[in-house]
């Protein structure tokens, strides 16, 4: 079995929450959530005004993109 070697060049991805390009994070469906937003999201209380913002941004992750 042949194993590919990862390039030393890092690829930035667009975070679905902060809409910035970041190197580290997780994938949720076809969307990327950066490590910073993931940490903030986990630590945000439901009565915090930021919580509603996160809910709105995460709705993007549940809608698959349709290409025509």
pLDDT tens string 4-62: 444 445 789 999 999 999 999 999 888 899 999 999 999 999 999 999 999 999 888 76
Total of domains in the chain: 1
Neighbours of 65 (CB within 10 A): 8
22 falls within a domain: yes
* The predicted structure's pLDDT at residue 10: 72
68 falls within a domain: no
* The predicted structure's pLDDT at residue 34: 95
6 falls within a domain: no
4 falls within a domain: no
Radius of gyration of the chain (CA): 15
1 falls within a domain: no
In terms of residue numbers, what domain contains 58? 13-62
**What would the two tokens of residue 55 be?**
């809910």
57 falls within a domain: yes
**65 vs 39: which has the higher pLDDT:** 39
* The predicted structure's pLDDT at residue 43: 96
């Amino acid at each position: 079995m042949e194993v590919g070697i990862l390039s030393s060049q890092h690829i930035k991805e667009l975070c679905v929450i902060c809409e910035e390009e970041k190197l580290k994070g997780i994938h949720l469906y076809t969307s990327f959530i950066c490590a910073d937003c993931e940490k903030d999201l986990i630590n945000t209380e439901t009565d915090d005004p930021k919580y509603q913002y996160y809910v709105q941004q995460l709705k993007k992750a549940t809608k698959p993109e349709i290409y025509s």
